[in-house]
């Protein structure tokens, strides 16, 4: 596990603890998502935040100006702390870790469903319901179309991958045949 991920988990855990005390867990998640999307969509902002020659106070001033009326005090303070400590590169990782911590605490999980073709909303809901039964958690699913799968689906929930794709089955068959050939 990279150092950035470890650092991000610490910040996310601290932020989650405060959000939970204030009963604003979902709101903080939405606010972090807003910040990450805004930063990721603007290359100039990414470059500005990454510049070591720019003082942290100027970076904080920029983010305060953009997000002051749109995010809570605790999220803004977390951003300031990240920037002050030169950790602007882990903002996205903090969001990812926060989502995972909040989901585990609330008995929820996010699933990424990879398919060769687009599923209807009803089909995606059925996949989410099936994996809710398997995991015992409320699953929120998002779909990614990956034509290389050929058919079937892959579902990633956290660190776990459920592979029911045709490409996955062919790979497992090939490995099995290779072992027998040796």
Provide the whole-model pTM. Answer: 0.70
pLDDT, position 4:
84
What confidence tier does 83 reach under pLDDT thresholds 50, 70, 90?
Answer: very high
pLDDT, position 178:
87
pLDDT, position 166:
83
Residues in Cβ contact with 123 at an 8 Å cutoff, skipping those fewer than 6 apart: none
Of the CA atoms within 13 Å of residue 115, those in its CB half-sphere come to 12
Q: Which two tokens stand for residue 169?
A: 């089955």
19 vs 105 pLDDT, higher one: 19
Q: What is the DSSP letter of 119?
A: P
Whole-number Å distance between alpha carbons of 44 and 40: 10
Average pLDDT, the chain: 90
pLDDT, position 169:
84
pLDDT, position 1:
56
What pLDDT digit, counting tens, does each position of 112-155 carry?
A: 999 999 999 999 999 999 999 988 889 989 999 998 888 889 99
67 vs 159 pLDDT, higher one: 67
State the Rg of the chain over Cα.
20
pLDDT, position 97:
93
Q: Can you name the residues that pair with 109 across neighbouring β-strands?
A: 139
Mean pLDDT over residues 56-67, rounded? 90
- Do you know the residue count of the chain? 182
**Strand 138-145, strand 160-163: pairing:** unpaired
Mean pLDDT over residues 28-35, rounded? 94
pLDDT, position 180:
83
Domains of the chain and CATH, by start: 3-103 (1.10.520.20), 108-181 (no CATH)
Comparing 52-56, 126-130, 165-169, which segment has the lowest mean pLDDT? 165-169
What pLDDT digit, counting tens, does each position of 87-109 carry?
A: 989 999 999 999 989 988 888 88
Residue 76 has pLDDT above 60, yes or no: yes
């Amino acid at each position: 596990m990279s150092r950035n991920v470890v650092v991000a988990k610490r910040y996310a855990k601290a932020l989650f603890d405060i959000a939970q005390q204030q009963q604003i867990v979902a709101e903080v998640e939405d606010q972090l998502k807003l910040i990450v999307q805004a930063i990721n969509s603007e290359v100039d902002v990414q470059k500005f935040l990454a510049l070591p020659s720019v003082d942290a106070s100027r970076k904080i001033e920029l983010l305060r100006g953009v997000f002051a009326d749109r995010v809570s005090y605790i999220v803004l303070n977390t951003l300031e702390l990240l920037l002050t400590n030169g950790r602007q590169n882990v903002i996205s990782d903090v969001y990812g870790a926060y989502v995972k911590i909040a989901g585990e605490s609330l008995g929820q999980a996010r699933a990424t469903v990879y398919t060769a073709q687009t599923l209807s909303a009803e089909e995606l809901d059925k996949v989410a319901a099936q994996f809710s039964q398997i995991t015992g958690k409320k699953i929120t699913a998002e779909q990614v179309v990956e034509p290389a799968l050929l058919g079937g689906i892959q579902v990633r929930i956290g660190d776990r991958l459920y592979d029911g794709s045709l490409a996955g089955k062919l790979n497992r068959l090939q490995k099995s045949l290779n072992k027998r050939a040796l």
